[in-house]
Structure 1
Amino acid sequence: MYAYRMLRCSLGRPLDGGDWFVHHGTDVETRWDADVPHLTPNDRFFVRNHTRPPVVDVHSWRLLVTGDGVLGERTYSLADLQSFTSRTYERALECTGNGRRLFADQQGTHRPGTQWGLGAIGVARWTGVPLSTVLRHAGLRPEAVQVMPVGLDEPYVEDGVDHGRVRRPLPIAKALDDTIIAWAMNDEPLPVDHGFPARLVVPGWVGIASIKWLGELRVTTSVVDSPWNTRWYRMHGEGWAGPDAVLDRMPPKSAIDATGPLEAGRLAVLRGRAWSGDASIRMVEVSTDGGRTWDEAHLTGANEPSCWVGWEHPWTPPAAGEHVLMTRATDSLGRTQPDRAPANDDGYLFSAVVRHPVTVAAPYLQTTVSEGV
């Protein structure tokens, strides 16, 4: 049993006295040059909130399950949820707009919204109860088609319009698959910024699907929308319509970790990671000449769906000066990162190959002075 505390996530700092994060107002993204481990520590995990986190008394908190898709209304305390058989897995959570800044930097098409680099993602070890367990315990009807999870954060108001609490429909197939109601993150109680006391974790899907500060599950026998899947978090723009505009699983992506000093003629080992929504990674390719040639990298460590896998690739820089490194991932579903991300009005799902410029130093020449005898 976890000892729960009402503490806001502490945004830590590295030993060099800098900051683990790139700040975007009240939201923060993890710095790629800050030695990101495989499991992102809770105090280094990116934060994306629509409104202020709620203050929740865990002892009085109840999760309401309601709607015509269940036999009757039920409520569950945290102790009730923890009495079911739990599940623990390592999975990534990624903001739908991760990489938005790169639409401008690489494709010359600035998109409005938080200008994330690639740091609006983290991998954690999540513990909770399968959503399917709770729905079936509540009496799931066979004709149920979706679940609408609703958060407890303050209603979101834009231009004077109250859009209500953050909520987004989840198809029943995904709800009954690998979605969990999580109460622990990296074997610790959920920090307030990450959904205390309980949140959904929807592996492989856009981050908005993993509703934080969970308060209600509305199970329905008909499709019900919310602003978070019609007004926002949906593809808008030329060519986007119908099912193609729906945002669900995340595309494959890859990144290069901090390289450290590079010297011409000296062997270096490039390292990074690759990930994909509801798929594992089949291959990572690396280019050290701006995309003219590609070599396959060596995958390292665990390679699970909806999680990132490490890769490494040896490189001896041929000359001093500026070089452009690039990586592209192919996942187990056969999807490969494109040269350009599909254009859309809101800058969602930037999935293109990322250009990573580096500066290579000239060889260090050690001189030996002979002493006279």
Structure 2
Amino acid sequence: MPSPTPAGHHHETGYDRRRLRQWLDGEARADGVTRRRLLTLLAATAAGTALGAPRTARAADTPIVKPLPPEWFIQRGTNAETRWEALHKTGHHTPNDLFFVRNHTATPLLSADDWRLRLWGSGLRHTPSEAKPVEFGYDDLRALPAVTRTAFVECAGNARSSYTTQQGDTVAGTPWTLGAIGVARWRGVRLADVLRRAGLSPHAVDVQPRGLDAEYLSGGENLGRVRRPLPLAKALDDVLLAYEMNGEPLPHDHGYPVRVLVPSWVGIASIKWVGDIEVSAQPLYSPWNTTFYRLFGPSHPENGSAPITRQTIKSAFELADGATFTAGRTHVVHGRSWSGAGAVTHVDISTDGGTTWQPARLHDRPRAGTWTRWSHTWRPDTPGTTHLLARATDTAGRTQPETAVPNTHGYLFNAVIRHPVNVV
């Protein structure tokens, strides 16, 4: 029997539905974009017109700081996707130099000595306005009790290209394959501890971190710095303000000096280079949970879904597309599966394009918030092209389907990926 849905998941679903009603009824604040503009965008999308890929502000000559050798990464504008073959035998945690990069603009080069985290808003007892923020310096955070947590960060659009290549659906956005994910060992402080030290009010409902990267332009509009609200219950649960990644200070591309880490949620919630946090007694919205990071299209509500939160379930082989295998020899293929709804407990493998399935051997104790590594022994007999398939099941009872329900932004692809290989 599958384990129950993780604690807090039902609460999150209720929160999503409630906030969507509040926004549509005009009871919430949509910061940075007018209600008229949002309704125009929603109407266009509900009619089946994709919004198109957001345009970034003009980036620096080198929007990403770390080296991006082509054998490790696929460069995608201000972003860099990890090649899965580069992850083969790297261990459970993704090395920092192999970790994918998702930037809206360019990586800022910040100093920990000058950095301050400002908390403000109507949800704090003693700071009813931004004029009286509570501040924490880098050393202040490091002096608080530390927590270490292994967790994945994954872009909501990871595997987006498969909507088109496997299903023929037209979607907008960066055409990620499966490499917009990484697992790291994060160290930092609980956001709950910082909020309580700042004077959390019993009336607080939403918490909105904002980054220190450049302001973001989309369709000729300046949407300001990247920010996205969290329900207070999630902020007080397992969210970290992280300052280390795999035992080292955060690299610049991954949020130095401090970033937000929201386990199991879509990557946009884990704001990098966090500089301030609004704590509000009023529901909050930003372009990143109104215009973006909601589901639109014929299979979704007329005005769009609630803002997406938890990631979906996926699997990937540690192989390049078109990898070559020798017929008549025994091979061991490796891969990883993960889910935002719970731990992955079972993976089935097909080496004949989905006709037959066999269980994979799991190499990790299943844990929520991270992936499970696995392997499968295969002896191909006949030369030619075929597809390898991996299908995961998690503790919430979710199993990867054959087809993903499309949406115009191409978020949350969860279908089994058909991985092409050659047998010679």
Is contact 2:324–2:421 with CA below 8 Å preserved after alignment? no
Q: How does 1:1-373 map to 2 (within 5 A)?
A: 9-13=65-69, 18-36=70-88, 37=90, 38-72=92-126, 73-241=133-301, 244-258=305-319, 261-361=324-424
SS at match of 1:149: strand
- Aligned mates of 1:211, 1:313 — CA distance in 2: 36
1:349 maps to amino acid: L
- Aligned mates of 1:25, 1:9 — CA distance in 2: 13
1:3 paired residue number: none
- Aligned mates of 1:118, 1:107 — CA distance in 2: 16
SS at match of 1:33: helix
SS at match of 2:87: coil
SS at match of 1:193: helix
Distance 1:243 1:145, change over 3 A: farther
- Aligned mates of 2:67, 2:244 — CA distance in 1: 18
Could you list the per-position Cα deviations for residues 61-83 of structure 1 after superposition, in whole angstroms to 9, with x for gaps in the alignment? 11001111111231000111111
1:249 maps to amino acid: R
Is contact 1:9–1:42 with CA below 8 Å preserved after alignment? no
1:246 maps to amino acid: P
2:123 maps to amino acid: G
- Aligned mates of 1:66, 1:141 — CA distance in 2: 11
Could you list the per-position Cα deviations for residues 249-297 of structure 1 after superposition, in whole angstroms to 9, with x for gaps in the alignment? 0011111112865222222222111011141102101111111111111
Cα distance, 1:102 vs structure 2: 0.9
- Aligned mates of 2:341, 2:352 — CA distance in 1: 31
SS at match of 2:355: coil
- For these two proteins, the number of residue pairs brought into alignment is 350
Is contact 1:101–1:110 with CA below 8 Å preserved after alignment? no
SS at match of 2:189: strand
SS at match of 1:304: coil
1:364 paired residue number: none
Is contact 1:233–1:247 with CA below 8 Å preserved after alignment? yes
1:164 maps to amino acid: G
1:369 paired residue number: none
Structure with the greater alpha carbon radius of gyration: 1
Cα distance, 1:140 vs structure 2: 1.2
Could you list the per-position Cα deviations for residues 194-239 of structure 1 after superposition, in whole angstroms to 9, with x for gaps in the alignment? 1111000000000000001101111111211000000011111123
Is contact 1:236–1:245 with CA below 8 Å preserved after alignment? no
Is contact 1:253–1:276 with CA below 8 Å preserved after alignment? yes
Could you list the per-position Cα deviations for residues 83-105 of structure 1 after superposition, in whole angstroms to 9, with x for gaps in the alignment? 11111111110011111111111
2:17 paired residue number: none
1:127 maps to amino acid: R
Is contact 1:273–1:311 with CA below 8 Å preserved after alignment? yes
Please list every run of 5 or more consecutive structure 2 residues that lacks an aligned counterpart in the other structure. 1-63, 127-132
1:4 paired residue number: none
SS at match of 2:195: helix
SS at match of 1:85: coil
Q: Which has the higher contact order (CA 8 A, sep 6+)?
A: 2
Could you list the per-position Cα deviations for residues 92-122 of structure 1 after superposition, in whole angstroms to 9, with x for gaps in the alignment? 1001111111111100113121111100001
Distance 1:265 1:162, change over 3 A: same
Please list every run of 5 or more consecutive structure 1 residues that lacks an aligned counterpart in the other structure. 1-7, 362-373
Is contact 2:78–2:104 with CA below 8 Å preserved after alignment? no
1:264 maps to amino acid: A
Is contact 1:9–1:43 with CA below 8 Å preserved after alignment? no
Cα distance, 1:243 vs structure 2: 8.6
